[in-house]
Structure 1
Amino acid sequence: MPEIVQLLASPVHRYLGRPADGPTPAAPGELVEEIRIRAGLGIVGDRYFGRPAHRDASVTLIASESLPPGADLVQVRRNILTVGLAVDELVGTVLVLDSGEGPVSLRVNRAAHPCAWMDATIGPGAWKALRGRGGVRCTPLTDGTLRVGPVQVTTG
């Protein structure tokens, strides 16, 4: 059964300026056990919540299978880290996740392409290695809550 391994809701942008300068420090408590999602708005408490420019990309997912050992959401700045779910293959679908609090529907709009920051946060070569495996950007279609742990998945 697929699982949600980590969840990130960060109120701050960490990748400002040039990658060579390094990211700003992580906000305390940005890795959480659950996130609340609002339809059309994103993740409550996240830096992209309710921002018009990010409504079609306010929730991001990445598969742990795409990351090198030891890498996590703090480095890649996606919101949901899964295992057992090929998220990069879901572009153009509606993904429904249920981690026990009821279904949450996400329209998977496009790939979340990696950037040069990956070399700075994960290590040299990560940017190139994550091409085509950088996760997906989604629009939340329903309100709901997702938690770390097993998750039921349907697509359509």
Structure 2
Amino acid sequence: MAARREVEIVALHVSPVHAYEGRPSDGPRPDPGPVSRDEVEIRKGLGIVGDRYFNHPAHRNAAVTVIAAESLDQWPVDPLLARRNIVVRGFDVDSLPRGTVFRLGDIRFEVHRPANPCAWMDVAIAPGAFKALRGKGGIRCVPLDDGVLKVGKAALAIMDA
């Protein structure tokens, strides 16, 4: 392992439904329950238990999203508004190329593609967020291990090839 560093998991987000469908001008659908969690259960190849993308065939290679809290710091809002599953502080997750395997806590993830922002960011966060988050919207990953992530300090390591 190389490039190990301490990070902070500042937020964990699980949503059983997709709240942002249709036109942003119509507003989001209400979430049916709590979306902020102190810990989440992750299953290898499937995603986060209880999340709308868990074991969803179209999202198996992108079931878990991770964003750097620093990407959201310019807005004084709850980081969960970005609707990424894992919000970490202390590492530029957008710098990880596709195919990279990293370990967060005891769970390995493989990066599959960027989590590009959409026009809903202007509604959910603030006007201009959609444009400002281009290239900083986070990453979509597949978990390679079962485990639990908790809010708080965690080790992040880029795995050697």
TM tier, shorter chain? over 0.9
CA distance in 2, matches of 1:2, 1:119: 28
**TM-score, normalisation: structure 1:** 0.93
2:87 to 78, 81, 84: 81
Amino acid paired to 2:104:
L
User: In 2, are the aligned partners of 1:73 and 1:80 still within 8 Å (CA)?
Assistant: no
Please name the residue that 2:3 is paired with: none
User: In 2, are the aligned partners of 1:49 and 1:58 still within 8 Å (CA)?
Assistant: yes
Amino acid paired to 2:87:
L
How well do the aligned residues superpose, as a CA RMSD in angstroms? Answer: 1.1
Give how far 1:24 is off.
1.1
Give how far 1:73 is off.
4.2
**TM-score, normalisation: structure 2:** 0.91
SS in 2 for 1:145: strand
1:138 to 138, 141, 144: 141
CA distance in 2, matches of 1:127, 1:69: 12
Q: What is the aligned length?
A: 152
Identity %: 54
Q: For structure 2, which runs of at least 5 residues remain unmatched after alignment?
A: 1-5
Question: Once structures 1 and 2 are overlaid, which stretch shifts more, 89-98 or 109-118?
Answer: 89-98
1:58 to 50, 57, 63: 63
Structure 1 segments (4+ residues) deviating >6 Å? none
Please name the residue that 2:108 is paired with: 105
Please name the residue that 1:4 is paired with: 9
CA distance in 2, matches of 1:72, 1:155: 28
